[in-house]
Amino acid sequence: MKGHYKFRWKQPVTKAQAVCVAGGFLLYIVMEIISLWGSQNVLEEGMGLKRAGPGQGERIYEIVVKGLNQERGDKKLFIDIPVRERRYTKKESEELFERLETELQTLMLSDNDSLNSIMHDLNFINRMDSFGVSVRWDTSNPDLIDSFGTVYNEGLLEGGKEIYITAAVSDGIHRHSYRFKGKVIPPALTIEEKQKAAFKKWADEIDMKQQTADQLTLPDIFEGQPLEYFKPKEESYGILPVLGLALAVLLQIRTQVEKQKRYRLREQQLLLDYSEVVSKLVVYIGAGYTVRGAWERIATGYGEALKNKKQSIRPAYEEMVKTAVQLRSGLPEGRAYNEFGRRCSLQPYIKLAALLEQNQKNGGRQLRNALDLEMSSAFEQRKHAAKKLGEEAGTKLLLPLLLMLLVVMIMIVVPAFLAFY
């Protein structure tokens, strides 16, 4: 029938395609077998719902139950059954508590060498997850060691102080307490730290004596040594010269960058104006003007348009105005055109200046044809320059587009994650 297209598979099936199809079916069969094996009757096979170990929390099993409702065709029901964690028996808890004493003492010491030389904070853990028990700590002197294990041994005498630490362990049903004897000793100080501590203690005693005075007067001698007192030096300003030097370098770099940017912009404007300059020369010369007359007419028209604010400043016409001034001042035409090309410093303008200079020297009759060819070439160059500028503008827009894409992705992904958590 007309209007109907009948699809025909013309390519032969490759081995890779056959393997992919067979692999898909094979994986499907294997997963179905595993699924059927996992959903077998757990009661008939003598299996049960395994509990989590002590302290690991309950587990939830999804079970398919058959036989609850005979009136509706013995329909299978999906039910979530929570299974609580296993508890220790009394014998198991006693054996566990016997092992935990050494374990607790090792974990509690942290950076300390032994309980007889407690210098650093102790590690009072709240839970021992590997054993499924919780621990509560208490000390006989909270001013030395609090219930979080923080040690307060500053200002302690050299001999130290004894302390008793109690750890109450529970698995939720069975409980056991441990009592550890220890000694808190003062921190190990360097010679300089000992000197500071002694001086601070001495100054504190003097402050107590002079508490009724308006100010604290420190003595000139301490332990037979003459003392001098100074206020600490204010913040250093040595960074300021470095910042000044860095700023100078950055300003120089900025000046160079701006200079290069202005130079590139001038080049772009010169290339864009070249075709227009050549086309105007062709029109005026074709209308009977001499090269000099056409040049001055273009320069005068630019000046009037600029004066009437109908034209922005364009470097190509500015150079033509300079050349027109040179011609009026008596500079030879050939030399004036040559300096025009040199100032523009671009190959198309150098070529145009060479054509005009050659015309003055040789009186060439083919200037009109040469300018026509140059005008065609100039329009092609302008087309390529405009295309390049468009590509650069597109590249600059790429970063904002990527940022917008990132914002959109965040707006989509973040609510999705929040919905899960």
- Give Cβ neighbours of residue 234 (< 8 Å, ≥ 6 apart): none
The amino acid sitting at 45 is E
Query: SS3 of 227, please?
Result: coil
Directed axis angle between helix 347-362 and helix 367-420, to 10°?
170
For every one of its 421 residues, what pLDDT tens digit does the chain have, with 9 covering 90 and above?
444 545 455 556 676 767 777 777 888 887 777 766 655 555 455 557 777 767 676 777 777 777 676 665 566 777 777 877 777 788 888 888 888 888 888 888 888 888 888 888 899 989 888 788 889 999 998 888 898 889 888 777 777 889 999 999 988 888 889 999 999 888 877 777 777 777 787 788 778 877 778 787 777 777 777 877 777 766 666 777 887 788 888 888 888 889 888 888 888 888 878 888 888 888 888 888 888 888 888 888 888 888 888 888 888 888 888 988 988 888 888 888 888 889 888 888 888 888 888 877 776 567 777 777 777 777 777 777 777 777 777 777 778 888 888 888 888 888 877 776 5
Distances (CA, A) of 283 to 125, 294, 297: 96, 9, 11
pTM of the model: 0.41
Q: Two tokens at 88?
A: 């220790």
Distance, CA of 128 to CA of 384 (rounded, Å): 75
Contact between 169 and 97 (Cβ < 8 Å): yes
